[in-house]
Amino acid sequence: MSKYNARPTVVDNIRFASKKEAARYCDLKLLQRAGEISELELQPKYKIIVFDCLICSYIGDFRYRENGEQVVEDVKGVKTPAYRLKNKLMWAVHNIKIKET
C-alpha cells in the first residue's frame, strides 16, 4: 500500500500506481479505438527549466491528442503541495494546463 492508500494495478502488463489510473487507461484506450483521441502515451516527462536552471521534472500519467489539441492528464486522488507547484510551473513554463481526473 502506498502512503495515500492507492493499490498498484496491472493492465496490459503495465503497472499503474492506482486502480483509478488503470481504469482511466482502459477508458482512454477505448476512446482511442473509437477515434475520439489519438497518440496516447504513458508517463510523458517534462523538464521545468527557468533561467537555464533545471528546477524539477514533471511526469504526467497520460498525453494524447483530442480534437487536434495536446492533452496532458494526471489522475489525482490527493493534490500534494509538490503537485500543485508543478502544475503551476507547467502552465508558466510550457503553457500546458494539466487535465485532472
**pLDDT by residue (tens digit) across 29-77?**
999 999 999 999 999 999 999 999 999 999 999 999 999 999 999 999 8
> To the nearest whole percent, how much of the chain has pLDDT over 90?
91
The reported pTM is 0.90
Whether residue 82 lies inside any domain: the answer is: yes
Asked if the structure places residue 3 within a domain, the reply is no
In a domain? residue 45:
yes
Residue 4 counted as domain residue: no
Per the domain annotation, does 67 fall within a domain? yes
Q: Which domain holds residue 24?
A: 9-100
3-class secondary structure per residue, the chain: CCCCCCCCEEECCEEECCHHHHHHHHHHHHHHHCCCEEEEEECCEEEEEECCEEEEEEECCEEEEECCEEEEEECCCCCCHHHHHHHHHHHHHHCCCCEEC
| Residue 55 placed within a domain | yes
Count how many domains the chain has: 1
